[in-house]
């Protein structure tokens, strides 16, 4: 590899393309669970070593999915990457993290883990994620990590802003402050294409009229105000949050309604 690397901040590797949930805005779950369709441990290890030799410097390495913890060898992959001085991170729905798994995650030396939490209301979160009991398991996963870690991994949250959860965004920020969580990253709802799902625009979660768009915009304004007042748990910049308001204003409401 001879491409320039001076502006490279992070590298992402797709560990798999399947998931144990049925999120309304993602179709990874439509893919069959087929380990033959993804890179093997040795292939991933070789790829990570090649990246290391190419970069010749420490780098953030994001291990993405699907749900990465469905890979039985994920922790071995993390340990290997960390041994090469990568700063590894994983985003997860959190439902597979038992106390035993949490201990193994910490032993793997994982640097950062992000839990997808869209609402602290289980009816909303579980609807968005397509499986009952999801929020309870995810919150338990966070608790297990925080219970056993000494320093790493850093724990953060990712929130998909949509028409069902906009009233609870600041509540999630407060939850982060109360539970040793480093930051909360907000992102607007958008289709995530992994498989062959159609019918993306569920009118329950996408705004269907200008009034609903305004409600979401007002909720984002509260995040902007909190950020302006020094709320450090909100990872997004004010510019990013303002861009989300424009994104929602430009949604084709006819597609949804």
Q: How far is CA 92 from CA 47, 68, 96, 134, 207, in A?
A: 22, 7, 9, 12, 26
List the domain boundaries for the chain.
10-256
Q: Measured in whole angstroms, how far is the alpha carbon of residue 55 from the centre of its chain?
A: 26
Per CATH, the homologous superfamily of domain 10-256 is Aldolase class I (3.20.20.70)
pLDDT of residue 215: 97
Question: Residue 107 is encoded by which pair of tokens?
Answer: 């032993």
Tell me, what DSSP letter sits at residue 96? Answer: T
Percent of the chain whose predicted confidence (pLDDT) is above 70: 91
Residue 191 pLDDT: 72
With the CA atoms of 44, 47, 49 and 54 taken in that order, what torsion angle do they form, in degrees rounded to the nearest 10?
A: -160
pLDDT in tens, 89-117: 999 999 999 999 999 999 999 999 999 99
Contacts of 249 (CB under 8 A, 6+ apart): 213, 217
Report percent pLDDT > 90 for the chain.
Answer: 72
Mean per-residue pLDDT over the chain, rounded:
90
Question: Taken in order 213, 217, 218, 222, is the CA torsion positive or negative?
Answer: positive
Are 205 and 251 contacting, i.e. CB atoms less than 8 angstroms apart?
Answer: no
Which pLDDT band, with edges at 50, 70 and 90, does 201 fall under? Answer: low
């Amino acid at each position: 590899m001879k491409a320039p690397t001076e502006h490279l901040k992070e590298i992402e590797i797709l560990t798999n393309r399947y998931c144990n949930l049925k999120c309304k805005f993602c179709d990874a779950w439509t893919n069959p669970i087929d380990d033959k369709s993804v890179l093997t441990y040795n292939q991933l290890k070789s790829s990570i070593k090649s990246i290391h030799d190419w970069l010749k410097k420490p780098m953030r390495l994001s291990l993405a999915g699907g749900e990465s913890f469905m890979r039985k060898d994920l922790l071995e992959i993390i340990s290997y990457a960390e041994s090469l001085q990568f700063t590894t991170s994983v985003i997860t729905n959190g439902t597979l993290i038992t106390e035993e798994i949490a201990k193994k995650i910490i032993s793997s030396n994982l640097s950062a883990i992000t839990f997808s939490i869209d609402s602290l209301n289980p009816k909303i979160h579980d609807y968005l994620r397509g499986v009952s009991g999801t929020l309870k398991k995810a919150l338990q996963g966070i608790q297990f990590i925080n219970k056993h870690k000494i320093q790493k991994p850093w724990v953060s949250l990712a929130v998909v802003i949509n028409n069902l959860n906009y009233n609870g965004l600041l509540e999630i920020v407060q939850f982060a402050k109360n539970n040793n969580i480093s930051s909360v990253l907000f992102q607007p709802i958008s289709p995530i294409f992994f498989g062959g799902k159609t019918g993306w625009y569920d009118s329950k979660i996408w705004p269907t009229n200008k009034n609903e768009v305004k409600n979401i915009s007002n909720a984002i304004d509260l995040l902007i105000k909190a950020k302006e007042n020094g709320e450090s748990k909100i990872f997004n910049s004010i510019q990013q949050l303002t861009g989300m308001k424009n994104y929602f204003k430009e949604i084709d409401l006819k597609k949804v309604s």
